[in-house]
Structure 1
């Protein structure tokens, strides 16, 4: 019974519990982006079948709105919410659609990372409300409006009355608050005719308070940075800058002096309180315009239109906006005003579009501390009203305070109807428990029993239906402390999360499952280098959760603080052990489950009393070691109602009362090409009621067809083989197994790829999408060959055809697309051995 039978856990669907959700965060911070030639959407699509087989029910994929920072962005800077046919860091729109449809086909609910708190990358527009906030309504009790989110414009030329001459710009702190004293800033001005000149920055010379202070001033030059410092503790506390605008430096028919006042070491509240024009002999500061990048009325998707009225502050709240702390400070980009109905309506419409258009079935909400739970409640009410029921909704509040996390869930539910609450359970990530698990793994002096009291369920009495648990995620990128990844024995954290069904929906972090990329070229510098991939262990734990633990109605922490259960530690200690018992249920044949996790550096040997469930468990009852990690294959209850636990350091195991439920395990699946054939082989363990294995093949890893089948012999250990001799022409082929039970239920294996030694070429199109009449098709190849290039429209008609010869290296071929109407086309490149198809969008 040693190392018993669960490894790799590819299990027929008839054995999987359907009620237990298991959640994967399917990405990490530096995941490969399309800007660097990758398609993460394809990565997740190809892994979806094996993840479904392992028991995952939900996959959280990266933010997919078009980002203001381009296709190398993680997407937390959303610009165009509705995507259209645009490419994001995740992949093309076609790749996104394929990923989502594949997940859904595999029974996995795609979970979108939706950013409801801010937006970025709009066009510039005049914003009179920001001007009013900065110049009139801002006080020392509020936070300054971030200087990198606005700029100023002074109209000159035309009918403005402002032309050549001297202008004196008077700048100071609005409040004179000492917290801004000594803050640096960068002042820059230009016109349409004079831009950045490449000159080194000037440094402000003090004192320069100008005429208001009986002092001189500094001369500022168009197109050159001026570096200054805010004063709030000296007499005048003013900086004055003289700009001499000469003829030839602006368009006399109408122009603008654009003015930027960015901070260099933290936001401050400086602004211009005066602009004196010598030509007009008056102060013209009221003519200064304030501008923000908040015009979203011309997005490529044609949807999600917004202007400054959708953000904070706006005309309904300029005087009452309180930019302060976590709630309303502008930490990132432009902050939505979710109290505005028009903002609510647009964001709710976007959520419904994700559900209907993309097939998203779960929602992960970023940074919920930065917007009102009232909006979340109303959004979920609206989803319910229109029968769009997400199966998982979770908010991220980056805080380990359990009261704060609980209150957020309660506040959301308060703003939901009773019917919506019954259909949709809002959840929150349990940062409190996560911190306890990090301390248990990384802090040698930590008493790990704090884990028992550290969850939202055990600390605050929350229902696990309102909690998502996790060990690591993309936000943990520091070397140590609260914001660090768990750096040692993260498998022990997952052992707890996946064997305790009371504390919430468990989340698995992609690198914990598949392995962390090694630090390289500045990337992944925060990644641990000592953590192995946990796929095998996690697959086994998921199987245990679904087969043995799902449905358990209660848990008893046997070695908790102030435990009523006696123990005799022969080796190891209580403060480095987690020992607990889950009550059996009808779902698992009424078998109680015992779990032990040894965080210690020494062998754990303990006789520990258990819960006899009112005498139902008596002397002589046996608990069998499911994982085989213990020194013995089973425990037996003694006369003192104790069981003996014997575990190595830094390990865990799970024991089932009376008997085991055996799975079918696919231990390996591989393929090798030789002599124009592909030899497939797979090894299995513990087949029970398996009817047959259908072998399926694909040219693209998405569309599969059956090419043969092998009958199961239902063995404890067997190796199967299949030969694919009728190979189509391709550079690579994809294979998977359809594992079919005798009751006709089935499950898919992972997808494997078999590469052939044929000449290959790569194709790229520039620009794409294109609004021009000419594109370039870039061909990179390793041999000399003739290519046929065709452009096909969306009904399959060939609209352009070319024949070219290429030699080793990279060749660019120009193509005239002026005759093509706006729309989506496919560019097909064929050398007679392989064919590559790339989408082309004509705008």
Structure 2
């Protein structure tokens, strides 16, 4: 039995759209259409993102040192060529700013200290960031640009750490998260909080001072603080307008609601107060500086759900307009990390108007009253990631999620135009708090699903592609299985994954899913594809998928075609077929010899 893909969508746009629209209003966002001639002009248009880093890149002076330990240099000298050869259109780089490093170990970048220090000034014990110096960063960006690859910067606007001086600050509410995960309410008081960032620390050999920016951060620019699992809301300050997450039913209702709202806003270090116009202006000003200084083509926004929602919309529209004004809008991607596994609520956050006051979400509420970002940017499809985990039987969900359920899951099914799909990233590996890693036996099925889909912009994780299956922080296995499989899927996406998509489901065989891309109407002989993916340990096999009187040949994975049915072989749970026209590229000549 077959089901047409996404018949319930209110609007459809081509999956090859490689930019986030420039919206002057929510109405424009909903009515925007990508240029109709874009696909005709670019056969290889399908945007494909590579996340070009992972959490446990060894420090350059550690015993685990590897080529990525000098990441900016490694990209310039080696990986830029490979990224281009392997078909990536956009490369997402880690946070570039100097981060708080209280020990000899480098910080990965999310504990930002100085937004304007990109590895230029001797602060926090060194000149370089974890990834290299500013000049090495600029060289890496130039290497990517010279190969036609767009660069996405990972930016942190939610919090700062490592201030140069402390200030006494009264707080109206305080909480302590105890070792047994219980929470104690400590009421009001005063704390000596490190909130003065003047970048003139006397212990630094070459502090930045006022170079690049004269802005000095102080207690007026923060509304609260997290330090050693203690959370404080400063007196006279309010919570940023953010959606509430979590629950704590054992506490009195008033304290419970206060804690819930504080923890939804304040997650790490000194929390930026976006009710202060100076903060909003400075973040927009810094982003524009970063665009000009580095040459960025897009952004991944960290912890977006914890940042004031109206500001996120304001920031996004301001930066999109600026990119348009300077001629860098074409191909721009902008997407946020809102780590919410509930697709319905994530969709409401995406669609809701920033002026709405609804911060709690109940099932079925929709976006009518919910405070959201007004379609200001795309979002990671976190729910789909968790669905992959459920299909892999790594998540004890009830009822169980089957692989044939995937077409109806995630942000991809609700708002495909704004979905940034992924399988894993730096936060999902087993040794991180989320620990939602997709196991090897399901990983290539998941990559097949996102890379060959008509909708969504897929992201490939560097560790999966270039290191292998995660075993421990500095150990991997099955490199060739993942590297060869993902490499083939990215090529097939760029070369063949065009035209409308259609799912094929046999409800008597819920452990297998079929999918077909029709191909371009003007080039059906050399575009389009068919795939099958199957759950690990499932015996389901064989689906009838129309061949359109075209000859189809196996391009990747392991399977066969017999008597009108496509099958998977016993040694594989995924397979992809492509047309084999006389004037096209025979499957025997696919470039699988790529490094």
The aligned runs of 1:37-116 (5 Å cut-off) are: 38-45=69-76, 46-69=78-101, 72-83=106-117, 85=120, 86-116=127-157
Alignment deviations for residues 595-654 of structure 1 (CA, whole Å, 9 cap, x no partner): 1113353666425254x8xxxx3xx5433333373235xx6xx7xxx4343433433222
1:1-21 deviation line (CA, Å, top 9, x unaligned): xxxxxxxxxxxxx99834211
Whether the aligned pair in 2 keeps the contact of 1:602 and 1:649 (CA below 8 Å) is no
Contact 2:467–2:479 (8 Å) recurs in 1: yes
Residue 383 and residue 330 in structure 1: after superposition, are their counterparts in 2 closer, same or farther (change >3 A)?
Answer: closer
Contact 1:607/1:643, CA 8 A, preserved across alignment = yes
Greater strand proportion: 1
Which of 249, 270, 276 in structure 2 is aligned with 1:340? 276
CA displacement 1:320-348 (0-9 Å, x = unmatched): 44663476443211111122211011111
Q: 1:311 aligns with which of 198, 222, 225?
A: 222
Deviations 1:216-249 (Å, cap 9, x if unpaired)? xxxxxxxxxxxxxxxxxxxxxxxxxxxxxxxxxx
> Which residue is 2:46 aligned to?
20
Counterparts in 2 of 1:77 and 1:376: CA distance versus 1, 3 Å: same
Task: Give runs of aligned pairs for residues 563-574 of structure 1, distance below 5 A.
Answer: 574=509
Deviation at 1:52, TM superposition (A): 1.0
Tell me: CA distance 1:560–1:410, structure 2 relative to 1, closer, same or farther (3 Å): farther
1:506 aligns with 2:423: no
Contact preservation (8 Å) 1:15, 1:663: no
Q: Which residue of 1 aligns with 2:27?
A: none
Q: Is the 8 A contact 1:600 1:650 kept in 2?
A: no
User: What is the Cα deviation at residue 555 of structure 1?
Assistant: 2.0
CA distance 1:296–1:646, change in 2 (3 Å): closer
Question: In 2, are the aligned partners of 1:630 and 1:645 still within 8 Å (CA)?
Answer: yes
Tell me by how many angstroms 1:311 deviates. Answer: 0.8
Asked if structure 2 preserves the Cα contact closer than 8 Å seen for 1:67 and 1:80, the reply is: yes
Q: Structure 1 residue 290: deviation in Å?
A: 3.8
Which string of whole-angstrom CA distances, capped at 9 and with x for unpartnered residues, describes residues 714-771 of structure 1?
A: xx99xxxxxxxxxxxxxxxxxxxxxxxxxxxxxxx97xxxxxxxxxxxxxxxxxxxxx
Asked if residue 556 in structure 1 is aligned to residue 502 in structure 2, the reply is yes
> In the alignment, which of 290, 293, 300 is matched to residue 357 of structure 1?
293
| 1:645 aligned to which of 555, 562, 567 | 567
SS at match of 1:654: strand
Q: Is 1:470 the counterpart of 2:425 in the alignment?
A: no
Match of 2:309 among 364, 368, 373: 373
1:432 corresponds, among 383, 387, 393, to 383
Structure 2: unaligned runs, 5 residues or longer: 1-39, 121-126, 201-206, 226-232, 240-257, 357-374
Map 1:811-826; keep pairs closer than 5 Å: none
Q: Find the aligned partners of 2:188 and 2:236 in 1 and give their Cα distance.
A: 19
- SS for the counterpart of 1:43 is helix
**1:539 counterpart = 2:487:** yes
Query: Which structure has the higher relative contact order (CA within 8 Å, separation 6+)?
Result: 2
The corresponding residue for 2:37 is none
Report what 2:408 is aligned to: 453
Q: Which has the larger radius of gyration?
A: 1
Q: Equivalent residues in 2 for 1:764-783 (5 A)? A: none
* 8 A contact 1:472–1:509 mirrored in 2: yes
Moved more, 115-124 or 69-78: 69-78
SS of residue matched to 1:349? helix
**Contact map agreement 2:542 2:567 (CA 8 A) in 1:** yes
Following superposition, the deviation at residue 75 of structure 1 comes to 1.0
5 Å matches for 1:407-806?
407-411=348-352, 426-443=377-394, 447-458=402-413, 460=414, 462-463=415-416, 465-478=417-430, 483-489=435-441, 490-502=443-455, 504-516=456-468, 523-524=473-474, 529=477, 532=480, 534-550=482-498, 552=499, 554-559=500-505, 574-586=509-521, 588-589=523-524, 592-601=528-537, 605-610=541-546, 617=548, 621-627=550-556, 629-632=558-561, 642-657=564-579, 659=581
**The residue matched to 2:556 in structure 1 has which SS?**
coil
Checking the alignment, whether the CA contact within 8 Å between 1:513 and 1:533 is kept in structure 2 is no
CA distance in structure 1 between the aligned counterparts of 2:449 and 2:280, rounded to whole angstroms: 39
SS at match of 2:542: strand
Q: Deviations over 1:150-205 (max 9, x none)?
A: xxxxxxxxxxxxxxxxxxxxxxxxxxxxxx9xx69xxxxxxxxxxxxxxxxxxxxx
1:182-221 residue pairs with structure 2 within 5 A?
Answer: none
TM-score by length of 2: 0.71
Partner deviation per Cα, 1:675-719 (whole Å, 9 max, x = no partner): xxxxxxxxx9579xxxxxxxxxxxxxxxxxxxxxxxxxxxx99xx
1:518–1:529: 8 Å Cα contact kept in structure 2? yes
Once superposed, what is the RMSD of the aligned Cα atoms? 3.7
Q: 1:33 to 1:342 in 2, by over 3 A?
A: same
State the 1:447 CA deviation: 2.1
The 1-side partners of 2:151 and 2:386 are apart by 27
Q: Secondary structure at the match of 2:403?
A: coil
Write the distance in 1 (CA, Å) between the matches of 2:463 and 2:403: 24
Tell me the SS of whatever aligns to 2:162. coil
Please report how far the alpha carbon of residue 409 of structure 1 lies from its aligned counterpart in structure 2 after TM superposition: 2.1
Count of equivalent residues: 477
TM-superposed CA distance for 1:364, in Å, is 0.8
